[in-house]
Amino acid sequence: MRARVIAVSNQKGGVGKTTTTVNLATALAASKRRVLVIDADPQGNASTGFGIEADQRDHDLYQLLAGSTDYAAAIQPSLVRDLWVIPASNNLSAAEVELSTLEDREFRFKRIIEDVAGDYDYVLIDCPPSLGLLTVNALSAADAALVPLQCEYYALEGLSQLMQTIEAVRGGLNPELVLQGVVLTMYDARNRLSSLVAKDVREHLGPLVYSTIIPRNVRVSEAPSYGKPVLLYDLDCPGSKAYIALAGEVIKQEGIAA
């Protein structure tokens, strides 16, 4: 069985994209799924979130794209059972320029994933906060896009640009690409704006929005500084419970045609 490949994407920074990738992947692995996380963001925050420090990234996604390393060297075990990571370093910034000169530039990720997809149940790609060639590569390789959306003003405006990119990719590079779902993040129950944004997003997108809402939670914010997903840092905090619930919703989508 081939893995379901999900690109976690939003061109806006600070929306909880990497946090969602790290903790959703961890919750899926805790649900006895084999998971590969591909850190496609040159900032490498997903790698750090799994405790893979910069000096442990001698073999990373950039080298894999460049053909200077192989899968066995690039894929690293994580702190989480049944979860592996292809890390990123700031070398990946050069990939945007280097890929642009190649004939098959939009399909480099797809080739990498096709070779390993049979080993996993899920492949999650942490996209950079942009709509450049790395993100297009991820969307071209993915079965679906999952979009974290911060509960703030102009949230839908930012989503509109991403949806246009998804439609453009679906129109040529990857006709099978679908929207896996939208997850509301950084929800503050004390803030009326959060409630209004959540209501507005649900009115516009309906069933595409997951029932689970990821709350603002200090333990979620603290966990990366310890090189751990929040589920390993504090399993009982509201953030951990929310990501476990989100994983449950994603798992319920298994078997739905892409």
At residue 258 the predicted structure's pLDDT band, cuts being 50, 70 and 90, is: very low
Is residue 78 situated within a structural domain? yes
At residue 257 the predicted structure's pLDDT band, cuts being 50, 70 and 90, is: very low
- Range in 140-144, 162-166, 254-258 with the lowest mean pLDDT: 254-258
Instruction: Look at 57 and 39; give whichever has higher pLDDT.
Output: 39
The pLDDT assigned to 238 comes to: 97
Is residue 15 situated within a structural domain? yes
Is residue 258 situated within a structural domain? no
Q: How many domains does the chain have?
A: 1
The pLDDT assigned to 159 comes to: 82
The pLDDT assigned to 255 comes to: 63
CATH number at residue 51: 3.40.50.300
Which domain does 188 fall in, by range?
4-252
The pLDDT assigned to 256 comes to: 52
User: Average pLDDT in the 173-177 region?
Assistant: 95
Residue 19 makes CB contacts below 8 A (sequence gap 6+) with 49, 148, 185, 214, 220, 224
Q: Phi first, then psi: give them for residue 37, nearest 5 degrees.
A: -105, 125
Is residue 192 situated within a structural domain? yes
Q: Which residues of 48-68 are buried (b: 16+ CB within 10 A; e: fewer)?
A: bbbbbeeeebebbbbbbbeee
* Tokens linked to 239: 């953030």
Is residue 257 situated within a structural domain? no
pTM across the whole model: 0.94
- The tens digit of pLDDT for each residue in 46-91 reads 999 999 987 778 789 988 888 888 888 899 999 999 999 999 988 8
Is residue 245 situated within a structural domain? yes
User: Average pLDDT in the 2-6 region?
Assistant: 94
